[in-house]
């Protein structure tokens, strides 16, 4: 069971699982070409690929989109983010998936309007990843200039391999966690969903 192996072996297993998703590896290569500051491919496309691999499903099954986060606090305008999104549309043209590009330096400008709670400004892409609704989701992967993989996993990888969804009550409200958990449990019934802390 990969979730019980030493971290180094978990990292090897993580990369091996992700490489089975050809859409994901194309997104990573395209994001590397875009070279946005502090970028990561992140969130659902990572842990859901692992869930698919460990449950013998096709690697892309149930994945709605592929998130590319970056961090540029030198220009917080919508126009600057939109330029990055449009550049991504060209790079990812023809890819059989939706790729969502977001500047995490701007999240505090719209988060409360969307989710009903204020979001302090992030200081990096990593600090945005730290605040996902579930610790299992707190993952980021990017290709470094030499082709090495940089993996950001502040809560480790054991829950990902063991199909455990654990709440991360630092920003997102309970209903966000519970709605995501319900949707994912429908797609991956093998998941163990841990309750929001009282």
Asked if the structure places residue 86 within a domain, the reply is: yes
Q: Which of 53, 94, 87 is nearest to 68 (CA)?
A: 87
Residue 34 CA neighbour count, 13 Å, CB half: 30
Residues 12-32 have a mean pLDDT of 95
In sequence order, what are the beta bridge partners of 141? 41, 151
Residue at 179 is within a domain: yes
**54 inside domain:** yes
Tell me what the mean pLDDT of segment 3-23 comes to: 83
Whether 198 is covered by a domain: the verdict is no
Residue 170 above 70 pLDDT?
yes
Q: Residue 10 — very low, low, confident or very high, per pLDDT cuts 50/70/90?
A: confident
**Is residue 63 included in any domain, yes or no?**
yes
- Identify whether 150 is part of a domain: yes
When pLDDT is cut at 50, 70 and 90, the band that residue 49 belongs to is very high
Of 158, 175, 177, give the one whose Cα is nearest residue 167: 177
Q: How many CB atoms lie within 10 A of CB 82?
A: 12
**Residue span of the structural domain in which 116 resides:** 2-193
Q: If you average pLDDT over residues 111-130, what whole number do you get?
A: 93
Chain segment 70-91, per-residue pLDDT in tens: 999 999 999 999 999 999 999 9
How confident is the model over 93-122, as a mean pLDDT?
94
Q: Is residue 35 part of a domain?
A: yes
- Can you give the pTM of this predicted structure? 0.93
68: nearest Cα among 25, 32, 99, 94: 99
């Amino acid at each position: 069971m990969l979730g019980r192996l030493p971290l180094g072996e978990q990292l090897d297993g993580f990369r091996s699982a992700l490489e089975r998703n050809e859409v994901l590896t194309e997104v990573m290569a395209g994001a590397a070409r875009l070279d946005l500051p502090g970028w990561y491919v992140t969130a659902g496309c990572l842990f859901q690929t692992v869930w698919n691999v460990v449950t013998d499903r096709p690697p892309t099954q149930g994945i709605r989109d592929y998130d590319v986060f970056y961090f540029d606090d030198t220009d917080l305008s919508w126009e600057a983010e939109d330029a990055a999104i449009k550049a991504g549309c060209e790079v990812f043209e023809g890819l059989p998936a939706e790729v969502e590009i977001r500047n995490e330096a701007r999240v505090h400008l719209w988060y409360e309007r969307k989710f009903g709670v204020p979001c302090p400004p992030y200081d990096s892409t990593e600090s945005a990843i730290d605040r996902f609704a579930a610790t299992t989701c707190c993952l980021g992967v990017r290709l470094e200039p030499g082709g090495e993989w940089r993996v950001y996993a502040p809560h480790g990888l054991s829950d990902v391999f063991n199909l455990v969804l654990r709440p991360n009550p630092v920003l997102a409200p309970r209903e966000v966690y519970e709605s995501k958990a319900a949707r994912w449990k429908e797609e991956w019934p093998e998941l163990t969903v841990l309750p929001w802390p009282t």
